[in-house]
Each structure stands twice: as C-alpha cells, then as structure tokens.
Amino acid sequence: MEQKNIELDVREDIRAKKDPFNKIMDTIKNFTAGDQLVLHAPFKPEPLLRVLKGKGFEHSLEEVQADHWIVTFTKIEE
C-alpha cells in the first residue's frame, strides 16, 4: 500500500476563527504506519502535539517565521 503524504495549511482557518481540529482529525483518520501529515500553522500547536502523540504519531517542528510553523506528523503505530 502506498504511503500517504498530505500537506494541510490551517493558517487561514485559524485567522478566520475556525477551529481546524476536526479537519485535521478527518485527514489522519485512515493513516497507517509511515503516513505523514505536513501541517502549516500560525503557532506551535502544543495541544495538538500531545493529542497526536497519543494516537501514535511522532513529530518534527520547523519555525519558518514567527507566525508560520511547519509540523510534520508521522504515524508510527497502527
């Protein structure tokens, strides 16, 4: 099965005061080991890091600018 590598930018959602949590959860719901989500956010998403860790994801962070973070989540557990 081919690995998923999905890029999702939620910066506009957050600027529009829309909570992107359900969009993110819908995106990862069928992920299997090795699949990746590359998330663009306007801040370091601390609560999301903890939630996805509990769902079997590891992450790496990159602060591109003060208002642009890239977080790569990789599914490590089934």
Look at residue 36 in the predicted model and tell me its pLDDT.
98
Cα within 13 Å of Cα(15), Cβ side: 9
Kindly tell me if the per-residue pLDDT of 44 is higher than 70: yes
Planar angle of CA 15, 22, 19, nearest 5 degrees: 20
Residue 48 is part of which domain span? 5-75
Provide mean pLDDT across the span 40-63: 97
Total number of domains constituting the chain? 1
CB 71 within 8 A of CB 63: no
The CATH number of residue 44's host domain is 3.30.110
pLDDT band at 74 (very low <50, low <70, confident <90, very high): very high
Beta carbons within 8 Å of 51's beta carbon, 6+ residues apart? none
